[in-house]
Amino acid sequence: MRLFVSEGVPGCLPVLAAARRARGRAELLISTVGPEDCVVPFLTRPKIPVLQLDSGNYLFSTSAICRYFFLLSGWEQDDLTNQWLEWEATELQPALSAALYYLVVQGKKGEDVLGSVRRALTHIDRSLSRQNCPFLAGETESLADIVLWGALYPLLQDPAYLPEELSALHSWFQTLSTQEPCQQAAETVLKQQGVLALRPYFQKQPQPSPPEGRAVTNEPEEEELATLSEEEIATAVTAWEKGLESLPPLRPQQNPVLPVAGERNVLITSALPYVNNVPHLGNIIGCVLSADVFARYSRLRQWNTLYLCGTDEYGTATETKALEEGLTPQEICDKYHIIHADIYRWFNISFDIFGRTTTPQQTKITQDIFQRLLKRGFVLQDTVEQLRCEHCARFLADRFVEGVCPFCGYEEARGDQCDKCGKLINAVELKKPQCKVCRSCPVVQSTQHLFLDLPKLEKRLEEWLGRTLPGSDWTPNARFIIRSWLRDGLKPRCITRDLKWGTPVPLEGFKDKVFYVWFDATIGYLSITANYTDQWERWWKNPEQVDLYQFMAKDNVPFHGLVFPCSVLGAEDNYTLVSHIIATEYLNYEDGKFSKSRGVGVFGDMAQDTGIPADIWRFYLLYIRPEGQDSAFSWTDLLLKNNSELLNNLGNFINRAGMFVSKFFGGCVPEMVLTPDDQRLLAHVTLELQHYHQLLEKVRIRDALRSILTVSRHGNQYIQVNEPWKRIKGSEADRQRAGTVTGLAVNIAALLSVMLQPYMPTVSATIQAQLQLPLPACSILLTNFLCTLPAGHQIGTVSPLFQKLENDQIESLRQRFGGGQLEETFDLKAKTSPKPAVVETVTTARPQQIQVLMDEVTKQGNIVRELKAQKADKNEVAAEVAKLLDLKKQLAVAEGKPPEAPKGKKKK
Amino acid sequence: MVVPFKSLRAGQQWCRFPSEFEDLRTRSTMGKRRSMFQLSGQIPVLQTNNGPSLTGLTTIAAHLVKQANKEYLLGSTAEEKAIVQQWLEYRVTQVDGHSSKNDIHTLLKDLNSYLEDKVYLTGYNFTLADILLYYGLHRFIVDLTVQEKEKYLNVSRWFCHIQHYPGIRQHLSSVVFIKNRLYTNSH
């Protein structure tokens, strides 16, 4: 037989790696041909690799060739291998081809490449870790391993695309890659050029169709229905039956919260918002709200939790703001600190401490760390070229300069960073620099500054990262950013600035300078804790016992993952270093960008004036949390999610469950006699609950919210199928069935109230009050679904949880926040050309939304038809019909058709 | 069959899968109650009592064939086994994957050329590959014009043969092929 292979063709990797299996069984000739050669006479399109058999037949499928080699060696086919190979062909290959295409043809990087395969990689990782075997189909390497390894090798051989958190995949891949036949195959096919060897091959492939709407939509991925084993069902039933007694006692409240030896101690920080402005929704979801969800979850797990944040008050922006408002910097900080605190209180953020950085503790700790660094030789002194405005007679800090970005040509780049391309800028490199205060052109002058000697600390940092990163929950973007900084090599970083408003530098010759905010802002976490308790060192100098989670947007990663760790590693004082950096991508506003410095978007204090409750804001922001990719705030989407997910799904289910108990059973939870179908439901809910836990343990906040909605969907469907409102009027057996269904449903509602607690604390408390859920069950969430409302339990008064949002209302809010508030509220005096903020534009919805609505309409239509066919209760029918009409109206609006009643003005 | 809690958005294409198993299942010795199918998206899942669930059309089909003691349907020699699996993969990646008219015609052209000297996909033995490819192609073959059927003469001969194989066609419509050639120039 003869094997035809070609360099730079991915399918040849597994085939060559498997070929040795056939050695000694048959004579094998290997011919190298061009990648475009048509070897198989009956195929129109070229196909490599190909195996020509002695019978004259051809094998043209990579997997089939490998399979044949394995079969020759005496291997027998089995179900598990078949399943892996089918999955490889139908799921992995399309995803992988897309990723490789983006990488080698389009030159994309990072998450743009990894995004399309992440799901598949996670699937492999989970399968490996679940079955606890080193290989895909058991204890020994087999066909499935070779085929999948060969498919994955081109991408994963670059460590940047082998996510470290997938540790099982990691070790599986390393094991295979070090084997001789695999190494030889890689050498033959990739010729040591890495993935670029595949470039000519992929250039001839059609461009992969974009992964369905991922980048543009906030819709959940298609949910997969898990299959259940009898064992899983039995376990779920046992846990359910144990009920309340399996709950541990509530941990007593401590004040102050301090780490406890032998317990899980979770320290959570949210990036410190800058005090000079009101935070916008992007800031809120990026750090404080995300961290709040995790803190609340952590408390539900009974972990010893301290959540802290505060305003970052020093720096140039405060000085600018003070100039603008004619106040002193201290007055500005006092004023805005209160505004911040009020906003977060309104959003129900559960800080243990919300402090500030302008305190004596801050000075003490910062200067201590600096002195230690100085003494150990990690501080350099150097002359810096800096912009000086002769007119204002001072050196211009980064934020006092504006000019043309040297990288992308954006006209209003700031002195430290370009808003458009996001690159960091050295202020002297700006083209056409302007003093922001007087608009004159500054000159370059030299001045002395202090630098943190990062190159000298690099080795310690890498050692620490090597210990910390594997198996931790750092988000992929944070890993990627840190890795790329390290790859480019660290440079000394300036830690002083020519300012007055800051922590003074305790060194002769630098008395008129202060520390750069990014040297001391991260120290703010320590000083804020120190103001909370004099035992702050038990949190911050206790790396063995404390698990530190830091939440931020991705632009803050270098400071938390590199600069601060280097500072405290150099200080050699046994500081607690970050265990998990949780970084979000960016949240956009409608079609544009939120910008604090330009005042575009919805701001924290205005959210209160919209009349939309804080929990709805929380829900929507968390639903679109920019987790793994940028996302966008959209008013239309907010309306849609409120009306579909909250009102029709979650609210509808919880309300119906409670109402049935009140209406049919006098407010008393009925007796439950579980049928196999009910047990199956229990197991499904348990599985979804466990999924929720797995996701939140990994801080996948947005994804875990989907689990809540899935549980509620299970519940709705359960009620819909079992029709307790009909059975209650039937025979004894029917009435008993209605009781079981109602009892189970109201218990699911109780579970939902707890799962919802991190996301919507007020709604959660309302549900718990309505259901009179016993206290420990309100504050503890176990991994199993328990019967927390046993038969005989008396519930309270049930009322609807959510309100519908109307199109008119949303339309007017959109107009109000579309732009213009910049001029009203945040009029920057120095601004010469006010940029038109995002203008309200097209109102027609995206195709995905239309599709969703159409599906909803169809679904709701079926429900109505079913009810009518069954001659159901009139009110029931009327309610469902109303929902249907409403959905149709939404659809009409989304499609840009005028709704029946003329209301709201639509452009185009 | 168990309909999972999640709603099934029933599309014709998805309903096709279980019926494909119908045939295999009636041949198998399993009692009807012991195995359950669930549809997850477009991918069928088989839940059995005595082991983990199986996912994927060809995986489940091969499993059921073994359960029914009809392993010969998976091929007898190493070569035949590999060829059967190759065409099963072809079914789920090529036949199910593409539906543009152009793709289908290329596919039929290739298949026609392949079947020129063959009775079945493996040559002389009827296998699971013939069954699943028949099910997969049915929706395209019914739409072919008489002229096209004649153009893909070998495919037509094979297809007509398989649809008359006992127990295979089930509820699918019988496709009519004309025995005497009408378009003598086309082939």
pLDDT for A659-691, tens place per residue? 999 999 999 999 999 999 999 999 999 999 999
Query: Is the model's pLDDT at A328 over the cut of 70?
Result: yes
- Asked whether the predicted pLDDT for residue A14 surpasses 70, the reply is yes
Q: What is the pLDDT of residue A638?
A: 92
- Which residues on B lie below 8 Å from A79 (Cβ)? 54, 59, 62-63
What pLDDT sits at residue A438? 85
A28 close to A55: Cβ distance less than 8 angstroms: no
More confident residue, A191 or A704: A704
* Facing B56 at nearest CB: one of A59, A87, A718: A87
Question: Does the distance separating the beta carbons of A717 and B5 come in below 8 Å?
Answer: yes
Chain B residue numbers touching A57 (CB-CB < 8 A): 79, 83, 123
Candidates A613, A642, A599; CA nearest to A282 is A599
Q: Across the interface, do B93 and A77 touch by the CB < 8 Å criterion?
A: no
Q: What is the pLDDT of residue A834?
A: 34
Whether A89 contacts A96, CB under 8 Å: no
Position A897 scores a pLDDT of 53
Interchain proximity B82–A64, CB inside 8 Å? yes
Q: Given an 8 Å threshold on Cβ–Cβ distance, is A222 in contact with B74?
A: no
For residue A905, pLDDT beyond 60: no
Give the mutation candidate from B1, B2, B5 for the A interface (greatest A CB count, under 10 A).
Answer: B5
Side-chain half-sphere exposure of B162, counting CA atoms within 13 A? 26
CA distance A866 to A876: 12
Mutation choice for A interface testing from B47, B55, B73, B79 by most A CBs within 10 A? B79
Interchain pair A713, B47: CB under 8 A? no
Partner residue opposite A79 with nearest CB, options B47, B63, B89 = B63
Residue at token pair 């007593």: A252
Instruction: Indicate yes or no: CB of B54 within 8 angstroms of CB of A68.
Output: no
Residue A634 amino acid letter: S
Parallel, antiparallel or unpaired: strands A265-270 and A304-311: parallel
Average pLDDT for residues A465-481, to the nearest whole number?
A: 89
The chain B residue lying nearest A90, using CA atoms, is B93
* pLDDT tens per residue, range B52-78: 788 899 999 999 999 889 999 999 999
In a mutational test of the A interface, the residue from B1, B89, B102 whose CB has the highest number of chain A CBs within 10 Å is B89
| Chain A environment of B3 (Cβ under 8 Å) | none
Of B74, B89, B92, the CB nearest to A64: B89
Q: pLDDT tens-digit profile of A186-214?
A: 988 888 888 888 888 888 887 776 544 33
Residues from A in contact with B at Cβ < 8 Å: 41-45, 53, 55, 57, 59-61, 63-65, 67-68, 71-72, 77, 79, 82-83, 85-87, 89-90, 93, 222-225, 227-230, 681, 684, 713-714, 717-718, 855, 859
Burial class (CB in 10 A: 0-12, 13-18, 19+), B185: exposed
Report the mean per-residue pLDDT for chain A.
86
Residues of A in contact with B55 (CB under 8 A): 83, 86-87
- With bands split at pLDDT 50, 70 and 90, how would you rate the model's confidence at A38? confident
Residue of B nearest to A94 (CA): B93
Determine the distance in angstroms separating the CA of A858 from the nearest CA of chain B, rounded to an integer: 10
Q: Which residues of A touch B8 (CB under 8 A)?
A: none
pLDDT attached to residue A715: 94
For residue A68, give how far its alpha carbon lies from the nearest alpha carbon of chain B (Å).
5
> Which of the residues A3, A43, A57 would you substitute to probe the B interface, choosing the one with the greatest number of B C-beta atoms within 10 Å?
A57
* pLDDT tens track for A392-438: 877 887 778 888 888 888 888 888 778 777 777 788 888 888 888 78
CB contact under 8 Å between B78 and A718, yes or no, is no
In this structure, of A138-142, A335-339, A378-382, A901-905, the range with the lowest mean pLDDT score is: A901-905
Nearest CA in chain B to A82: B59
Give residue B47's pLDDT: 74
Cα separation, A535 vs A727, in Å, equals 62
Q: Name the residue among A43, A55, A82 with its Cβ closest to that of B79.
A: A55
Q: Where are the alpha helices (DSSP H) in A395-548?
A: 454-468, 476-488, 517-520, 524-532, 537-540
Min Cα–Cα distance to chain B from A779, Å: 29
pLDDT at residue A840 in the model = 32
In which element (H, E) is residue A270 found? strand A265-270
3-state secondary structure of A59: strand
* Nearest-CA distance B96 → chain A (Å): 10
**Residues of chain B contacting A860 with CB distance shorter than 8 Å:** none
More confident of the two residues A822 and A151: A151
Alpha-carbon dihedral angle through residues B77, B81, B84, B86, given to the nearest 10 degrees: -130
A863, pLDDT greater than 50: yes
**Portion of chain A with pLDDT greater than 70, in percent:** 90
Chain A residue with minimum CA distance to B121: A57
With CB atoms and an 8 Å threshold, state whether A222 touches B41: yes
Q: Encode pLDDT of A705-737 as tens digits.
A: 999 999 999 999 999 999 999 999 999 999 999
Q: Which residues of B touch A713 (CB under 8 A)?
A: 5-6
Q: In B, which residues are within 8 Å of A39 by CB distance?
A: none
Cβ-contact A119, A169 below 8 angstroms: no
In order along chain B (187 residues), what is the average pLDDT of each group of 10 residues? 26 37 44 39 70 86 91 93 96 80 88 94 94 93 88 94 90 83 58
pLDDT tens-digit map of A820-861: 444 333 333 333 333 333 333 333 345 556 666 777 777 777
pLDDT at residue A643, as a whole number: 93
* Whether A64 and B85 lie within 8 Å, measured CB to CB: yes
pLDDT in tens, A606-654: 888 888 999 999 999 999 999 888 888 888 889 989 999 999 999 999 9
Nearest to A859 among B7, B79, B83 (CB): B7
pLDDT of residue A674: 94
B47: chain A residues, CB-CB within 8 Å: 227-228
Pick from A15, A77, A649, A707 the residue to mutate for testing the B interface (most B CBs within 10 Å): A77
d(CA B91, CA B61): 12
Q: Which residues in chain B have their CB less than 8 angstroms from residue A86's CB?
A: 55-59, 88-89, 92
* Residue A447 CB-half CA count within 13 A: 21
* Of residues A45, A83, A681, nearest to B56 (C-beta): A83
Selecting from B86, B92, B113 the residue whose C-beta is nearest the C-beta of A59 gives B86
* Residues B124, B118: Cα–Cα separation, whole Å: 7
Query: Do the Cβ atoms of A459 and A489 come closer than 8 Å?
Result: no
For A870-899, the pLDDT digits (tens) are 666 767 777 777 777 777 767 666 665 544
pLDDT of A66 reads 95
Name residues whose C-beta falls within 8 Å of residue A320's C-beta, 6 or more positions apart in sequence.
Answer: A276, A399, A400, A436, A437
Q: Which residue of B has its CA nearest to A224?
A: B40
With CB atoms and an 8 Å threshold, state whether B113 touches A42: yes
Q: Which two tokens stand for residue A274?
A: 């800058």
d(C-alpha A839, C-alpha A590), whole Å: 9
Q: Do A86 and B57 touch (CB under 8 A)?
A: yes
What pLDDT is attached to residue A887? 75
- Residue of A73, A87, A131, A225 to mutate, interface with B, max B Cβ within 10 Å: A225
Cβ B45–A681 below 8 Å, yes or no?
A: no
How far apart, in whole angstroms, are the C-alpha atoms of residue A550 and residue A293? 13
Residues of A in contact with B93 (CB under 8 A): 89-90, 93
The whole-angstrom separation of Cα A760 and Cα A783 is 20
Q: With contacts defined as CB-CB under 8 Å, which chain B residues touch A714?
A: 5-6
Q: Which chain A residues are Cβ-neighbours of B42 within 8 angstroms?
A: none
pLDDT for the residue A766:
97
For residue A678, the chain B residue with the least C-alpha distance is B5
Give the separation between CA B53 and CA B35, rounded to whole angstroms.
Answer: 10
A206: exposed, middle or buried (Cβ count in 10 Å: 0-12, 13-18, 19+): exposed
